[in-house]
Structure formats: structure tokens, C-alpha cells
Structure 1
């Protein structure tokens, strides 16, 4: 089964919790803090495996979660960071955020990697919070939650050359003749329901990858027929072989067919109009084809090379292959989009939240004051409110960034409910 789209959930591992601990040694009656930091959670990473050709695996497994980091220990021992969770994808996979549509990466080269969900950093142990005023803080951070999101995967077949044309014009037959691929061939429309790839040996030491793509019909860019299932794969090809039934076997006009297919390509992606295109005048073994070919040449003009061939008798096939190989030699390879690889990710930095400006908004809902801020909500999740020093730190941050003042300006009074993320508390002057 060929599957070229998938929607999956990914979550980076949570960071380990920091620890509250103190030195307990003989002859050291008042040992200082000795709580270690938690380890970082694992990242979820998509990595290209050239042995894969479909997104079928994602049909059966849709959730991918990395492991959390270990908690910190006493004697200032840090918890172990978790290993990254490597998920293999086929070359040609485009990754976007399923909810926002944000482009995340285009994975084309074998071994290429993309972090799709970063693990959370480990929480700091109480050693990190020691100051001149508080030399033995009784608090530690919880681990930072790992990133989580739904991502959309879209596979676009990578091939040097793509066969396009109406159904039943002979694309699959042509692929079977020039390569070792054995696509399904039938005398009915949409025999080919998924892309088929074949390696073509030109015979002079050159070779290229040829893709037989599902047949187009008018309105494909709007989803008619196989619609987008076909068009997404054309984007990856460097050269387009436009196969035309020159015999008009089904009563269609070859020139009108050629115009309609080009219109569909242009509607889908205007850049495809600039892609080198070779017209393959197929089924030349049928008697009516020669006369139609002359009319076709006059209408098309000199803008496109036209090669008369027969997939059945192999007439003109070798000349066509030489031409395609020459074009490939003359144009550069398609460059994949720049990605942020694992090696390019710099070491995470730990910032003191007290020293940073934290944006927030406040609005009222059902009598409660709702404070909205992604940074504050993360702070809530990383604060252990069972620790007195941690609560005092949270209050100090809220005051330092101006939340207290903003609540007063909004009319908050003693006893009013304030909500920050999952935390609810009563406002007090």
C-alpha cells in the first residue's frame, strides 16, 4: 500500500526535576545546598531513511513520545538526559505543523534530520538558587515540559524525470519498456493509483530515476480525479516527460490534451511552467498517428522538443532517452530547503527568568482575572508550590514583571480569583 500523507502526534520528553538536598557530612554541622539538576528530556527527531518509500508505518502508529530526563540527586549529582527518539521517514517528506500550517522542514537527503519536538530542560536543584541572603534555599524547579504538537507529513516522490499525461496514454507502458519497473498496466483509466519509480539506464554510462505518476484529468488542481495525490509528486521532478496519445485512441484531440495538462500544472504551481518539458508523442505504431503528429507540430511550434515513440514497438525510445539525459546534464540538481539539523542545534542556555521581560495579557471571564502568557504558564508548571521558597519566588516574579500592578489597574480586589495556566489563587494586596 502506498501512503503519501499522514498526521501524527509528537512530544518531546519532559525535563527531570531538580532536587532539594543538603550536605550531610561529619564535622559539617550546617552543610550548604547539594541538590542536583534534572536531566534534559529527549527530542523527537525525524531522520531520512532512503530504504523507505511510503508513509505506511504512520498509518498504524500515530503517537511518538520521547523519554523524560532523570531527576537530580543529592551531592550535586545531575540527572541523566534522555536519548532522542529517532523516527525514520522516506526521502521527500515535507513536515508542517498540523494546527498552524507552519512549515517545519523538507527532508530529502539520506540521513538528514529535523527536530520536530524538543525535549524540556531539566529543572534546577536548590544549589542553583543559593544567594548571599538565602544560603540554604528550600526549593528546586520541576522539569520543563517537552514540546508537543500534531504534525502533517506529506510525501513528494523524488525522481529526476516525471511522466505526466491523461489516463491511458501509455505512461506505465513506457516506464516498463525503459526500466526494470513493472507497473500495473490496463486498458482502463486510473490503472496507476500511486507513483511507480524505475531506474533508466541510458546505455552510455548515464542513468536517471523516472517516475510514472497517476493520470491527470481536467480540474485536477481542484481535487478532481486523483487531484493533489498526483500533483504533489510533480514538484520533485527536474524534467517533465509529457506523454500524449498521438493516435487519439479515445476520440480526444492530442493538442487539446496537451494544453489542458499544462494548465493543470500551472494552476497547481506556476513554477512548473519553467520546468524543462519534452513531449512524447506516443502510440506512433497506429496508422492515424502520423497525420495527427504533423498537425500537432504546427500548433505547438518550436518551443518544445517532440519525440515520436511507440511503447509497444519501442520505436524512438533510445533517442528520447539520450535527449532526457542531455537535459539533466545541463541543469543543476534541485537543492533541498535549508534545515536545522541536530548538529546545528546549539547548546541550550538556561536563563534566569527573574531578569527577563515576560509579556502577558489580562482579561476578565466569569468574575475571574485570566492572566495569559506562555512564559508564565511554563513557570507555573515548573514551580513546586508545596515549597515555601518556591512560592515566594513565584510571587516575586509576578510582582517584578508587573502582573500585580496590572491586576490592580484592572480593578482586582482582595479575594478575587486569578488564573494563570492551571494555577488558581486569590488576589491579595
Structure 2
């Protein structure tokens, strides 16, 4: 099950109480205080692990807490420290304060380990309070309480290229023939219900990661369809590829304008990302000369429109994933544009 957003209350452990104790030995008639310190409470830490892929492990959980420190003991023995709470999350997980919306942690690379909440300090035992005027202190410090935070964990997939398009335009087929991803492919809309990642091999030494999200429809920014819910998964991408379908009722330019508008409504930052355009199902020109001429005219109109956009890396390529034409050119073009954007 793909789960990319959860809410949790996280708490570090409380410090243990210091002990109030006095030496009681047969040959020590004036035994003094010997109460030990309380143990520190456990910390809350986040660990980034690329073996985790979703936040499904947190499904149904509302609160996670580190272990409390144990109380101090007689004979000046310190209580045991509380066990840390280590939270394993996938790469791309953000920890957000659910009340203020502040980004608290961003876990983006394998092995990253971050201290999130420090455990409470254990209290001092009564042995620390003996002095010249008070030889038998009968008090000790209580432990300090741990910290608590109500947070939202959000997973944003980390990819180099993000696919943007309407449902059933060929995004899933493209990522299946270009990469190692194997999404569900069918002749109906919304076959992609969750984001997918695929590694695209450019040559023996170079590759990049491509992300596919559920198709976007007009009005997505107002809650229609599935795509907007998952747009955050392409917020980290260096480059966007708009996939347009010549078989849709809307012409290519109109499709592009609708998709760009939905991106702008979701995120100004994502809207300004460098992009290219792929016209899918180029084998559809075999439907006849009249249809081929129509697509050629639409492509020319789109090219003129793109020339007015502030995106020096923009390109238009015609690709057929079914007949595997144009794939090599697209692969190298995406790799080149991704590298220029990240430079």
C-alpha cells in the first residue's frame, strides 16, 4: 500500500527521578546520603533508509514515544538511560509541524540521521545536596519531562525528471519502456493511482530517475481527479516532461495550457521549472493523411507558443512508446536538460 502522508504525536522520554537514600551498613553508624541520579530519557531520531518506500509502517499509529529514564537507586547507582526511538523513513520524507506548517526536517539521502527531540535529563540524587549545614538531605530532583511534537510526515519522491499529463496519454507506457518501472497499463483513465519511480539507463555509466504521477485533469487545483494530490512528488524534480496526446479532443496547445495552469495553481515554484514536451502516440499519424496534417499544424502552433515562454531548454519531440521510435533521442535529451538544470 502506498501511503505518503501521516500525522503523529512524537515524544521523547522523561528523565528518571533522583533517589533519596542513606547508607545503612553495620559498621558505619553515621552513613550519609547515597541516592543515585535518574537516567536520561530516550531521544527521538529520524533515519533515512532507501529500503523504505512508503510511510505504510505508520498506518493506524497516532503516537510514538521514546522510553523514559529509570529512577536513581541507592548506593549511588544511576538509573538506566531510556531507549531511543528511531524512526525509519524513506528518502524524500519531510517532517512538518502540523500546527504551524513549519518544515522541521528534510530527509533526502541514504543514512541521514537527525536528532529530532532530546530526552529529558535525569534528576540528581540526594548525594549531591549534602553540605556542611545539611548532612542528611531528604530530597532529590525530579527528572525533566521529555519534549512532545504533533507532526505531519510527507513523502516527496526524489527524481530527476517528472512526467506531467492528462490520464491515459501514455505516461505509464513511456516509463515502462524507458526504465525498470512496471506500472499498470490499460486502455482507460486513471490506471496510475500512485506515483511510480523508474531508473532510466542512458549508457553504462549514466542514468537518471523518472517519476510518473496520476494524470491531471482540468480543475485538479479545485480537487478534481487524482493528480493534484500527488503533485508534491514532482516538486523536487530538476526537469518536467509534459506528455501530450494527439488523440484527445483538445488540441496540443490547449492541453499544454491547461496542464501549465493547474501547475501554477498548485505551486509557483513548480510552474517555473524547466520543461520539455513530448507528443505521444506518434504512430497515430498512420490514421490517414488528413489526421497527419492536423497534428503537424497543431505541433507547429505549439512550437510558436513555446518560443514565447521563458524556458531556454524547452523542446518538442514526437515519440511512439508502442513502436519504440524517438525513445533514444528523448532519453538523451532529458539527460542533457537535467544536467544543465542541476549545474
TM superposition score normalised by structure 2: 0.90
Deviations along 1:237-278, one digit per CA (max 9) or x if unpaired, are 111111111x2x131121111112112222222122332211
Q: Does residue 1:301 correspond to 2:299, yes or no?
A: no
265, 282, 295: which one aligns with 2:280: 282
Question: 1:273 aligns to what?
Answer: 271
Deviation at 1:18, TM superposition (A): 0.4
Tell me the distance in 1 between the aligned counterparts of 2:146 and 2:99.
18
The Cα shift of 1:155 comes to 0.8
> What is the deviation of 1:78?
1.2
Report the equivalent of 1:145: 145
In the TM superposition, what are the counterparts of 1:301-340 in structure 2 within 5 Å? Answer: 301=307, 303=311, 304-332=314-342
Superposed displacement of residue 165, structure 1:
1.1
Structure 1: stretches of 5+ with no match in the other structure:
334-429
Post-superposition offset of 1:28? 4.2
How far off its partner does 1:139 sit?
Answer: 0.4
Q: 1:101 deviation in Å?
A: 2.9
Cross-structure match for 1:163:
163
1:96 touches 1:151 (CA, 8 Å); kept in 2?
yes
1:292 matched to 2:292? The reply is no
Q: Please say if residues 274 and 341 of structure 2, whose CA atoms lie closer than 8 Å, have aligned partners that are also in contact.
A: no
Q: Does the CA-based 8 Å contact 2:12-2:43 persist in structure 1?
A: yes
Alpha-carbon distance between aligned partners in 1 of 2:180 and 2:50, rounded to the nearest angstrom:
19
Report how far residue 11 of structure 1 moved.
2.0
Q: Where in structure 2 are the equivalents of 1:14-413 lying within 5 Å?
A: 14-25=14-25, 28-203=28-203, 205-245=205-245, 247=246, 249-287=247-285, 288=291, 289-301=295-307, 303=311, 304-332=314-342
CA RMSD across the alignment: 2.0
Q: Decide whether aligned partners of structure 1 residues 13 and 177 sit closer, same or farther in structure 2, where only a CA change above 3 A counts.
A: same
Query: How far apart, CA to CA, are the structure 2 residues paired with 1:204 and 1:227?
Result: 34
TM-score by length of 1: 0.73
Number of aligned residues: 331
1:40-70 Cα shifts (integer Å, max 9, x gaps)? 1111222111011111111143332221112
Closer/same/farther in 2, CA of residues 134 and 100 from structure 1, 3 Å limit: farther
Kept in 1, the 8 Å contact 2:167–2:215? The answer is: yes
Partners of 1:212 and 1:203 in 2: CA distance: 22
Aligned residue for 1:162, secondary structure, equals: strand
Distance 2:83 2:225 in 1: 45
Once the two structures are superposed, residues 133-155 of structure 1 have per-residue CA deviations (whole angstroms, 9 ceiling, x without a partner) of 33321101222222223321111
Contact 1:36–1:124 (CA under 8 A) maintained in structure 2 = yes
Question: Which aligned runs of 4 or more in structure 1 are off by greater than 6 angstroms?
Answer: none
**Alpha-carbon distance change, 299 to 101 in structure 1, aligned in 2, over 3 angstroms:** closer
Q: Check the 8 A contact 1:200/1:210 in 2, yes or no.
A: yes
Which consecutive residues of structure 2, in runs of 5 or more, have no partner in the other structure?
A: 286-290
- Structure of greater Rg: 1
The alpha-carbon deviation at position 16 of structure 1 amounts to 1.1
* Corresponding residue number in structure 2 for 1:340: none
